[in-house]
Structure 1
Amino acid sequence: MAEALWFATARLTIHLSQKDNANRLSLIEHHMAEGFAVPLHVHHDEDESFYILQGEVRMQIDNEVRRLAPGDALTVSGGTPHSFRIVSPEARFLSMTTGRFEAMIRRLARPAQNEGLPLQAEPTDEEVAAVVAACAAHGIEFQGPAVA
């Protein structure tokens, strides 16, 4: 059964949890509003694959910037710096990982209180510090600002 979580200002739905399969695959649907961005970072122990369902996402992989639209898919190899920003009013995409990403999400997320997105607000300094610490504890290292 899918599990809906609020993570910062995003709604994440875990469709397949690592605990439920031998390959430790996570399949997570991300629903985000325009402007949601993730700083340049690397996953040290996992590849991360993306499949765009709705909207447009600007993604930076190393020094290349691409605009992804519904039906586009790509894999970012572990250790490769990447960042993304939602550039349409809303976007939905799937991510697939086999490392510690799901555990990091679970550490910071809270159960979704209703359908749709949580309140859209700037994160506090404490919230940013919590994300940085959780990512570091789960093999994810921030390396720079989000793609413009």
Structure 2
Amino acid sequence: MNEQVRATPSLTTLQDAPAYWQVGILWAMLTTGEQTGGTYSLIWELCPRGSGPTPHFHDQDEQFYVLEGEITYLADGQELRATAGSFVLIPRGTVHSFRVDSETATLLNSYTPAGFERVITELGEPAGARTLPPPHPHPPVSPDQMEKAQQLFREVGMHLVHGPDVLREDRAAETTSG
């Protein structure tokens, strides 16, 4: 018999939430699928200028609430410019990416159902401080690490989309022409 996991009441503060560094971003796990019976996850993020994922889509609905900063989202070919107080909904199956345009941005990022947070908790490194990660050169990814990441993406319903990263191409053109 497949027993469903129940959500449990919980309280987490930003200061005591498990925090990780990955892809130049600080991620704090406010609630995970473990706490919500798999129905929902909520992550607080501190992102530097230029950060954000390349085009991809999820098997989950994804929501963003921008607390501070400016972010350009590209969702299903539509450009959405979000500032503090903006809410962005990315329905499941929608190809999307985003780019932080301000010096930094803080946001709440949620998924229904939960699952994506495993990408951060399993592939990221525990944060040594509640700051952006220190800059360091990224060593080449080994074939074993790449296979582990691809397997995890399949398990959590994250799908990379191969093709141009329009948000990064526009940014490169702005910096070379301006």
- TM-score (structure 2 length as normaliser): 0.74
Query: C-alpha displacement at 1:23, in angstroms?
Result: 5.6
Report the Cα distance in structure 1 between the residues aligned to 2:97 and 2:83, rounded to whole angstroms.
16
Q: Which has the larger radius of gyration?
A: 2
Q: 1:118 to 1:75 in 2, by over 3 A?
A: same
Contact 2:69–2:103 (8 Å) recurs in 1? yes
Query: SS of 1:120's equivalent?
Result: coil
- Name the stretch that deviates more: 120-129 or 109-118: 120-129
Q: How does 1:48-127 map to 2 (within 5 A)?
A: 48-97=62-111, 98-121=113-136, 123-126=138-141
Structure ranking higher in helix proportion: 2
Query: C-alpha displacement at 1:110, in angstroms?
Result: 1.5
Q: 1:63 to 1:131 in 2, by over 3 A?
A: farther
Query: SS of 1:30's equivalent?
Result: strand
Query: C-alpha displacement at 1:94, in angstroms?
Result: 0.5
Structure 2 alignment gaps of length 5 or more = 1-11, 169-178
Alignment partner of 1:28 is 2:52: no
Query: SS of 1:37's equivalent?
Result: coil
- 1:39-95 superposed Cα distances (whole Å, 9 cap, x missing partner): 00000x200001000101110001111110000002111100000011100001111
- Which residue of structure 1 aligns with residue 24 of structure 2? 9
Contact 1:8–1:123 (8 Å) recurs in 2? no
Contact 2:33–2:115 (8 Å) recurs in 1? no
Structure 1 alignment gaps of length 5 or more = none
Q: Which has the higher contact order (CA 8 A, sep 6+)?
A: 1
- 1:2-22 superposed Cα distances (whole Å, 9 cap, x missing partner): 111111210001111211124
Contact 1:132–1:142 (8 Å) recurs in 2? no
Report the Cα distance in structure 2 between the residues aligned to 1:132 and 1:123, rounded to whole angstroms.
16
- TM-score (structure 1 length as normaliser): 0.88
Report the Cα distance in structure 1 between the residues aligned to 2:94 and 2:68, rounded to whole angstroms.
25
